[in-house]
Structure 1
Amino acid sequence: MREISITSTIHSHYNRFTATEKKTADYILEHADAVVYMSITDLAEGCGVGEASIFRFCKALGFKGYQQFKIALAHSISADNEIPQLSGQVRIQDTLEDAVFKTLQSNINALNETFKLIQLDSINRAIDLLIQSDRFIFYGVGSSLMTAMEANNKFMRITNKTGCSVDSHQQAMSAALMSEKDVAIIISYSGSTKDSIEVAKKAKERGAAIIVITRFVKSPLTSYSDITLLCGANEGPLQGGSLSAKIAQLYLLDVLYVEYFKRTYEASIVNKENTSAAVAVKLF
């Protein structure tokens, strides 16, 4: 069911807003389509206000926080018959052929945008950190944990230095035991997931290097990162766990894998053959 219009709600409250809240309201009304995909940090910068001001603005409209506000906004701006929970502007009346094409286009766009955001210097430095480290551990929560597990599964075929914990308590304990010779690779689309931020904080306190794979340059998580790698997928607040975002993250991780393999070729090729042989007996 369609939620009450956020535009109408903002207009009805407008005369009671403070000057800062009016500044925020004006920006949102003008850029509603873009705000749905913004982090609270990005919106604060766009409005020229602080993050706390954005939070107070959401509270003034009756929302518990920014994420709840974005969910309501996504419902408000979705076109007639559009399904805001899906990517690619898929509509109820779309044919199967339409859905197939729009899904493909959404994934292609995510990969192309990620490619454009790649900074070769950041990739180079990330590879150097991984090669020089004693261990590198992948972290993630929710759908990002699935990506972290995929990355760990890929790297463990060529090195015994990798790891991944699937429980948030284990992740916290793992980060608390890291050293200056370790690297934490933290995957989070929003960069605002509390458990991931806590892992980054603990790893930083231990002197470990931190590589963050995320959508947003500035977020609570990237404030701890030594290297930030950006994925280009746009995920609305109702599209959590979208495969476009996962594909973009996996693309970056595949780039790291390929380059790591190249630079450690002699060891990696031997390890790859050994691990392949170890599982070959499991197949008919």
Structure 2
Amino acid sequence: MKSILFSIHSQITSFSKSERKVAQYILDHPQQVIGMNADTLANRAGVSAATVVRLAKILSTDGFPGVKIQLSAETKMDDSLYTEVDPKDPLNVVKQKMEFRIGHTIEQTNLTLKDKAVSQAAQLISEADDVYAYGLGASSIVAADFQQKFIRIGKPVVQTMDTHLIATGIVKSGTVLVLVSNTGETLESQKLADVAHEHDVPVITVTHDEKSTLAKKSDIVLVHDDSEENEKFRTAATTSLMAQLYVMDLLYYFYISMNFDENVGKLKESRDVIQKHFK
């Protein structure tokens, strides 16, 4: 079950002004809210009962009763885990926070990522003669991870930060372009998507925003969660990076399962080559 308190914490800036009042009251008084009805909570938060009902539907498919059930399951949890890293936190608390956040992000990614999109992306990659992968900044790590995984099972993948090289490489048929962008607003990725479309090359994008500019330019969008998006203190990509890597892992394992015996054989060949010549 996903953490409703962490969901509220990470989404609160996207709520309306009146919804934020309810959300903040829930964060401040989770145990008390369990024993309230919608009218009581509305009165305490200074909003209408309709606002409480509306926010509850955003947070839970079961509405306000569902919110209270989830709150009751979380009241014994240390609420400091929902907050960002504090300079006073000892290492064991940082560990707990990261474990909680990463687990929550993967759980949410499982809800946002569509099975059909993963299947379609794997099929496109399977049929392609060549695959190009690009990501900027931390997303380049994900693109590199994608490359090393698929090369080991015999799928040619070019991953580079050189956008000119990718642009010239994707002009031929039988090619697929894989783009990784957390926000979906990276200009370099958008330009590469434009080049791909000019040459009828399908584009697969990994992003947390399916309404982003890049997502709209893509044929298949693999959507992941990013609970860091609304954080005030974001020193680097952490849970967003883990979410992107998780999406790539899912795509990789689904691809293997499509031709399991053949791909397992290629993995064995790759392992044998490494062991023979480099160990």
* Fold in common (TM above 0.5): yes
Equivalent position SS for 1:221 = helix
157, 160, 179: which one aligns with 1:162: 157
Opposite residue 267 of structure 1, the aligned amino acid is E
1:191 paired with 2:178, answer no
Q: Which residue of 2 aligns with 1:274?
A: 269
Q: How far does residue 238 in structure 1 lie from its aligned partner after superposition?
A: 5.5
**For the residues of structure 2 that align with 1:114 and 1:229, how far apart are their CA atoms?**
10
Question: Using a 3 Å threshold, how does the CA distance of structure 1 residues 210 and 31 change in structure 2: closer, same or farther?
Answer: farther
- For residue 101 of structure 1, report the CA deviation from its aligned partner: 0.6
Tell me which residue corresponds to 1:245. Answer: 240
Q: TM-score, normalised by structure 2?
A: 0.66
Kept in 2: contact 1:88–1:105 (CA 8 A): no
| Counterpart in the other structure of 1:125 | 120
Aligned to 1:107: 102
> How far apart are 1:168 and its partner, in Å?
2.9
1:174 to partner: Cα distance: 2.6
TM-score, normalization by structure 1: 0.65
SS state at 1:235 partner: coil
Q: 1:241 to 1:96 in 2, by over 3 A?
A: closer
Q: 1:91 to 1:227 in 2, by over 3 A?
A: same
Deviation at 1:282, TM superposition (A): 4.8
Quick check: 2:226–2:239 contact (8 Å CA) kept in 1? yes
Say if 1:133 and 1:182, in contact at 8 Å, map to a contact too. yes
CA RMSD of aligned residues (A): 2.5
- 1:174 and 1:242 map into 2 onto residues whose CA distance is 29
What is the CA–CA distance in structure 1 between the aligned matches of 2:155 and 2:123, rounded to whole Å? Answer: 17
Q: Does 1:264 align with 2:259?
A: yes
Q: 1:96 deviation in Å?
A: 2.0
Which residue identity lines up with residue 184 of structure 2 in the other structure? G
Q: Secondary structure at the match of 1:139?
A: strand
Residue 233 of structure 1 pairs with residue 229 of structure 2: no
Out of 193, 216, 221, the position equivalent to 1:200 is 193
Alignment of 1:1-284 (within 5 A): 88-175=83-170, 177-179=171-173, 181-236=174-229, 239=234, 241-284=236-279
Provide the rounded CA distance (Å) in 1 between the counterparts of 2:20 and 2:130: 44
Counterpart for residue 5 of structure 2: none
Contact 2:84 2:233 in 1 (8 A): no
* Cα distance in 2 for residues equivalent to 1:31 and 1:216: 22
Cα offsets for 1:50-75 (capped at 9, x unmatched): xxxxxxxxxxxxxxxxxxxxxxxxxx
Aligned AA (2:227): N
The count of corresponding residues between Structure 1 and Structure 2 is 204
Letter in 1 for 2:226: A
Whole-Å separation in 2 of the counterparts to 1:256 and 1:174: 23
Residue in 2 that maps onto 1:52? none
CA contact (8 A) 2:179 2:206 kept: yes
Helix, strand or coil at the partner of 1:190 = coil
Within 2, Cα distance between the matches of 1:178 and 1:189?
A: 27
Distance 1:199 1:241 in 2: 25
Please give the alpha-carbon distance, in whole angstroms, between the structure 1 residues aligned to 2:196 and 2:236.
25
Runs of 5+ in structure 1 lacking a partner? 1-25, 35-86
Q: Percent identity among equivalent residues?
A: 24
**Cα shift at 1:265:** 2.2
Residue 260 of structure 1 aligns with an amino acid whose one-letter code is Y
Report the CA distance between 1:110 and its aligned residue.
1.1
Does the 8 A contact of 1:215 with 1:230 survive in 2? yes
Q: Does the CA-based 8 Å contact 2:210-2:216 persist in structure 1?
A: no
CA distance 1:97–1:161, change in 2 (3 Å): same
> Structure 2: which amino acid aligns with 1:187?
V
Per the TM alignment, residue 269 of structure 1 is displaced from its structure 2 partner at its CA by: 2.1
